[in-house]
Structure 1
Amino acid sequence: MNKVIVIGSGGSGKSTFARELGERTGIEVIHLDQEYWRPNWEKTPTDEWEAKVAVMLERNSWIMDGNFGGTREMRMRAADTIIFLDLPRLICLYRILKRTIKYYGRSRPDMTAGCNERFDLEFILWVWNYPNATRDRVLSAVVEFPEKSFITLRTNAEIAEYLHGVSVNDGN
């Protein structure tokens, strides 16, 4: 396990999981939200974003958390491990609400400075619709890479058990 992508709905815990996995393995963590968003929630232009992701993928090892469907295939191709956090939508929505309240008006630690947390109805609807609108596309994409180690974690207990079983040696 040297090149890991962590995917899942907003609020599934991707950034927290990636950070903890990075601490256990010593592998660099790349939060895609932090790399993509510019201050005041300005998007990185598509061609620039794809080039930036391509450069990050060339590193010897990494743990990347985030969705960004436009670069999902290139990230899956480069990864040796794909971890899908497939938590229930109500848990994801609860976490989004909790995160919004905690960081409201300021940036989260895993987000670009100047991207202040806010109530975002469009994002909440995306999280609500994720199981029906996005989940199947993600799973279909994974099928295209049978040589990859694919891990689905569906509960907080499964996440904790997985992280408990990871050692520093897993990052070498």
Structure 2
Amino acid sequence: MPLFDAADPAARALAPTRVLVAGASGSGKTTAARRIGQALSIPRHELDALHHGTGWVKRPEFEADVDAFSAGPAWVCEWQYDSARPMLAGRADAMVWLDVPVRVQMRQVVLRTLGRWVRREELWNGNREEPPWRVLTNREHIIRWAWRTRRAPAVRVRELLAERPELPVVRVRSRRQLRAWLAALAGGAHAQRSVSRRRSARG
């Protein structure tokens, strides 16, 4: 079962081109996906932006959009939404699992939600965070949802490993581990590009 710690030499030697980022809400998936895309020079696709239409209604084109980009040779995105997970899992060649402590995850999701509300930050297609007091009345409020689903990613990752035992999964437990792994990833990608350029020059 290729479940690697981020410090494992095998995890640092990976050179993936289709990368999924798994983790609970607030674990840092979007930031990690952006940094992975930068380290590997591959396109990043934000699933929330593809999923949410005006008024938080699911866009009817969501699955078609996911199918289109995930059929490509290189990408990184978050592993979320039930209708997209099987398609993405079947096409990925690596997964990064952000298995951060629950206290860290919940602190981040609370601070993120409050910050977006205070700034009146526009998210996707004009949507904005609900007022913080709605956490008391709305069962689907993002903070309550994050707490309720905090353990789901671990279950899904282990189920995926049973279905695809060949898929390398890099388990990341902190920002420090992520930074160190990304530095190794970027170094390996740079070395590969240098070798490719030399071969092209000789050819």
Q: 1:43-97 CA deviation, whole Å, 9 max, x = no partner?
A: 124xx43222111111120001241122211101100011111111221111111
- TM-score, normalising length: structure 1: 0.86
Partner letter of residue 22 of structure 1? G
Identity %: 27
Q: How much has 1:146 moved relative to structure 2?
A: 1.4
| Letter paired with 1:57 | S
In structure 2, the residue matched to 1:136 is: 155
Change in CA separation of 1:34 and 1:168 when aligned onto 2, cut-off 3 Å: farther
Following superposition, the deviation at residue 6 of structure 1 comes to: 0.6
Structure 2: segments with no counterpart, 5+ residues: 1-15, 194-203
Residue 170 of structure 1, aligned match among 155, 165, 189 = 189
**SS of equivalent to 2:149:** helix
Paired residues in the alignment total 167
Contact map agreement 1:106 1:114 (CA 8 A) in 2: no
Larger-gyration structure (1/2): 2
Give the superposed CA RMSD.
Answer: 2.0
SS in 2 for 1:166: helix
Tell me the CA shift for residue 155 of structure 1: 1.8
Equivalent in the alignment of 1:90: 103
Secondary structure of the structure 2 residue equivalent to 1:4: strand
Change (3 A) 1:139 1:12: same
Match runs of 1:62-141 below 5 Å: 62-104=75-117, 105-107=120-122, 111-118=123-130, 119=132, 121=135, 122=140, 123-141=142-160
Equivalent residue for 1:56, pick from 50, 62, 69: 69
Asked if the contact 1:9–1:127 (Cα under 8 Å) also holds between the matched residues in 2, the reply is yes
